[in-house]
Chains A and B, each alone.
Chain A
Amino acid sequence: PVAKRAVAEVAQHDKVPRPVGFVPPPPPCPGRIRYFKI
């Protein structure tokens, strides 16, 4: 029998590990809400 490996699993192994405390940059727009969301 041939066992298939999940694609997601492969992708996980290929990922470059992110440094501890890494925060992804916020999307450039729209900006932050100062008071409340309408």
Chain B
Amino acid sequence: PHLRTFDDLFQTCKVAGAWPLIYNDYLTAQVTNVPLVHGSGATATNKLTVIIKPFRDGECAQRKLYQATAGNLPTTFDDGTITSGREEGVVIIEVIPGEHVEIHIRYIATLIVIRQVGRYITFAVRMPEELIQYQGAEDMQLCVKGCPVSEQIDYATFLSQTTRADRNYKELRVDAIAKCRKAKIYDEYLDSCVFDLLTTGDANFTQAAKSALTDVNRLHPNASFLFKNRTSVFENASFPGYRDIEGG
């Protein structure tokens, strides 16, 4: 999957299996990533688990478990409730049935956005900087530390390949760029959309990139500055950029 960390590092990772995104005194979020069927080496998220920890003796929140899996995006916690705490410090909101659910955690001003696109899950969170807990050198939180180097994929190099054995590769890439551009996806999200289309051919990933872009524009505190130039990594790269690929 593609990851934007709290520090705005943008990475493409393998991270097969279960990995923590966040764990702190208030909540835990963890994803499970599975290899895609056709053996491309790519993985995608098919499960998300969120645990809300008790807060103020249950006045604001009791311990709650939320689990989304491929094909099942619940609108409640595991116990069937939609709120937590006597004062309802936590609420689940169904925005689009089967596609978009949000967990609002009032007492820590935190919003978690969970989407199901095709058969896969996407995750986005906005939380106060002061509540992010760095766990030192052993920290495994993907949102905090990013992916381990051994798990990272250099997607820019992958996309710039022009000598692939597949004779249709260049045409596929032009087609993928056109589809992603048509969806009005830009910046790293354009690159990740192209990468996903090339590795899977699954058009659902175009929608996933588009949704992720929507979420970052909504949740990122500096989104208007972040995307001021709306350039992908290709624009300033030494390898063939999108303009070259598209023949100017």
Same complex for A and B? Answer no
Chain B residues in contact with chain A, CB under 8 A?
A: none
Chain A residues in contact with chain B, CB under 8 A?
A: none
